[in-house]
Amino acid sequence: MSSNLDAPRRIVILGGGVAAFSAASELRTRGYDGALTLLSPEGLPYDRPPLSKGYLLGTEDAAKIALVPEAWYAEHAVDVLAERAVALRPSEASVELGDGGLLSADRVLIATGARPRPLAVPGGELALTLRDRADADALRDALAPGARVVVVGAGLIGAEVTSAAVGFGAEVTLIDPIDPPLVPAVGEALARRLHAMHGQHGVRTIASIPVEISASDGGGARLLRLADGSAVAADAVVAGIGIVPDAALAAAAGIEVDDGVLVDASGATSNPTVFAAGDVSRLRRPDGTLTRRAEHWEAAVRSGQAAAAGMLGEPPPAFGAPWFWLDRYGVHVEAVGTLDGRFGGRVILREADGVPQAAFLLADDGHLLGAAAVDLPLLIRAARRIMDRGLTPDPAALADPSVPPRKLVP
Amino acid sequence: MSEGIDVGSPDEIEEGTAKVVEPEDSGFDEPIAVFRTESGCFFALNDTCTHEEASLAEGWIEGDTVECPLHSSSFNLRTGKVLCLPATVDARTHKVAVEEGRVVLYPGVDADDAARTAD
């Protein structure tokens, strides 16, 4: 559909996350030499995974998590404005800024990301959340030795915050109705192993949900009442219960939105001059069905790159199986593809001394659908190549801890 | 820093793997990974990924690239060029040569971008 449009000369990207940055970088790599502006309210783009890891722990500072050195932007003629767009005006080929000024744009990429899902219970606004650098700074202050910290949500963010809080010497309670979480992402065996690490590190885990948060006394302490009737006192409450795409600008501009800005594989929205990428976007397949929003770092990179191609009227690159990582209590976990066995396939475990190290999901025809592993990153690199090359691995070799990852890929 | 260091015989580094030369042995201020590709070429880069603390020698070596074992940034072994996020800074190269049947590393000397084969 973009073939009817003139080649872009003024591209404005809304957002300063890795999707926005990846799109800008990819545009220049593809030879786009027109104007390129990032409207990044927080200034120069930075990497978010460290916000629940090294940055939260204080082992990495703001300079360390910058996506590229500042000089990169001048070298690549990318203007970064620490401003927020307040409206899209695609029919006027512009974007409206907070002061009412218009910035001309013949293509716009919405990469505004998402906001933490609010804890929708009375007093839920008392919970801290983690999305940006300021959130991480506030959270770090709350994770003091001996502080009673209650984390609601034991998914990726909640578990990493819990691990960090333990590292700071806080007394942590972790609440999630699902025990164990992350089964679709890493498979049941690894999900159990990972969730059990909380208890092994002195964290109290409760399988319930909060129904109310109140101030229990004048000292700033909170009291969480849970659905199971119990109550937990806390000096700080942190909610990591998912994200809500920041799609208001698209919706206000009449662009199709359904739990995310709907895009095709090249990032195109229902308006041919407006594209979306990253956490704010949601892929609509050619048959019209909607995928689950991918909320991982690599998915944001890829969608930014795809949208860059799309804005230039070029086909999106082919990407392989999706990948993500998590870190907690000093272990590094990676997964590729899916371990969600609800639609078939069989699980192959690789164990050492009875402890699951890796899980593979094999389709009935022998193809690999996904893999996850704890502290075995080369196994995941092998699995990724097996998937991307359409190979059918030997299940016995997958299960055998003495078979090195390189030997799995012919 | 232009003195060559004997890293061993070529056979001591299996194809598709790497050997780390520590600062105390190289005189260079960072560990250096000496890679042997599947086609038998030797290359050397600073071992620590330019993104976070991870050893590139423990990464996935394929063709003339190495993929970091931590966050999957890839680097060109010949040039040190970073090929994908999250790293954005190139890796420093070092010259390696096979001389008189020994792998010789020149710490701190840039690679001349030419493959050095074992034979």
pLDDT for A220 equals 74
pLDDT, tens digit (0-9, with 9 covering 90-100), for A164-202: 999 999 999 999 999 999 999 999 999 999 999 999 999
CB of B85 within 8 Å of any CB in chain A?
yes
- Does the structure show a pLDDT above 60 at A349? yes
- The contacts of residue A57 (CB under 8 Å, 6+ apart) are A164, A167, A168
Claim: this prediction has a pTM higher than 0.90: yes
> Closest partner residue to A67 among B16, B67, B88, by Cβ?
B88
CB of B69 within 8 Å of any CB in chain A?
yes
| CB atoms A72 and B88 under 8 Å | yes
Tokens 């999250």 appear where? B86
Rg (alpha carbons) of chain B, rounded to whole number: 13
Cα–Cα nearest to A173, from A150, A141, A152, A153: A150
Cα–Cα nearest to A352, from A399, A409, A397, A395: A399
| CB atoms B70 and A332 under 8 Å | yes
**Which residue in chain B is spatially nearest to A68 when comparing CA positions?**
B88
pLDDT, tens digit (0-9, with 9 covering 90-100), for A11-48: 999 999 999 999 999 999 999 999 999 999 999 999 99
Q: What one-letter code names the amino acid at A19?
A: A
Mean pLDDT throughout A337-354?
94
| CB atoms A22 and B69 under 8 Å | no
Mean pLDDT throughout A56-67?
95
pLDDT for A217 equals 63
pLDDT for B3 equals 82
- Does the structure show a pLDDT above 70 at A3? no
Length of chain A: 410
> Closest partner residue to B70 among A67, A377, A406, by Cβ?
A377
- What is the C-alpha to C-alpha distance for residues B32 and A259, in angstroms, rounded to an integer? 48
Chain-centroid distance, C-alpha A168: 24
**Which residue in chain A is spatially nearest to B56 when comparing CA positions?**
A378
Q: What one-letter code names the amino acid at A383?
A: A
Q: Are B96 and B108 in contact (CB under 8 A)?
A: no
Residues in chain A within 8 Å Cβ distance of B89: 69
- What is the C-alpha to C-alpha distance for residues B94 and B106, in angstroms, rounded to an integer? 6
| Mean pLDDT of chain B, nearest integer | 91
Tokens 């218009």 appear where? A102
- Would you tell me how many other CB atoms lie within 10 Å of the CB of residue A150? 28
ipTM: 0.89
| CB atoms A378 and B85 under 8 Å | no
- Does the structure show a pLDDT above 80 at A219? no
Residues in chain A within 8 Å Cβ distance of B88: 67-69, 72
Chains A & B: contacts with CB separation below 8 Å: 33
Which whole-number Å values give the CA distances from B32 to A74, B84, B85, in the listed order?
32, 21, 22
| CB atoms A378 and B16 under 8 Å | no
Q: Are B94 and B106 in contact (CB under 8 A)?
A: yes
Over pLDDT 70: what percentage of chain B? 92
pLDDT, tens digit (0-9, with 9 covering 90-100), for A277-328: 999 999 999 999 999 998 999 999 999 999 999 999 999 999 999 999 999 9
Q: Give SS3 for B116.
A: strand
Q: Are A254 and A235 in contact (CB under 8 A)?
A: no
| CB atoms A18 and B16 under 8 Å | no
One-letter-per-residue 3-state SS of B11-63: HHCCCCEEEEECHHHHCCCCCEEEEECCCCEEEEEECECCCCCCEHHHCEEEC
Q: How buried is residue A86: exposed, middle or buried, by Cβ count under 10 Å (0-12/13-18/19+)?
A: middle
- Does the structure show a pLDDT above 60 at B1? no
- The contacts of residue B40 (CB under 8 Å, 6+ apart) are B10, B15, B117, B118, B119
pLDDT, tens digit (0-9, with 9 covering 90-100), for A350-408: 999 999 999 999 999 999 999 999 999 999 999 999 999 999 999 999 999 999 999 99
Strand B5-8 with A368-374, pairing: unpaired
Preceding peptide of A395 cis, ω within 30°: no
Cα–Cα nearest to B34, from B71, B77, B91: B77
Residues in chain A within 8 Å Cβ distance of B59: 378
- What is the C-alpha to C-alpha distance for residues A382 and A280, in angstroms, rounded to an integer? 31
Rg (alpha carbons) of chain A, rounded to whole number: 22
| CB atoms B85 and A18 under 8 Å | yes
- Does the structure show a pLDDT above 70 at A218? no
- Does the structure show a pLDDT above 70 at B114? no
pLDDT for B113 equals 62
Q: How buried is residue B11: exposed, middle or buried, by Cβ count under 10 Å (0-12/13-18/19+)?
A: exposed
| CB atoms B85 and A301 under 8 Å | yes
Residues A160-189: b if buried by 16+ CB within 10 A, e if exposed: bbbbbbbbbebbbbbbbeeebbbbbbbbbb
Strand A114-116 with A148-152, pairing: unpaired
Tokens 């930014």 appear where? A304
Name residues 330-389 of chain A within 8 A of B (Cβ): 332, 377-378, 381-382
pLDDT band at B119 (very low <50, low <70, confident <90, very high): very low
- Rounded to a whole number, what is the distance in Å from the CA of B67 to chain A's nearest CA? 9
The number of CA neighbours under 13 Å toward the Cβ of A113 is 24
| CB atoms A406 and B72 under 8 Å | no
pLDDT for A86 equals 97
- Does the structure show a pLDDT above 60 at A252? yes
pLDDT for B116 equals 47
- The contacts of residue A397 (CB under 8 Å, 6+ apart) are A403, A407, A408
- Rounded to a whole number, what is the distance in Å from the CA of B94 to chain A's nearest CA? 24
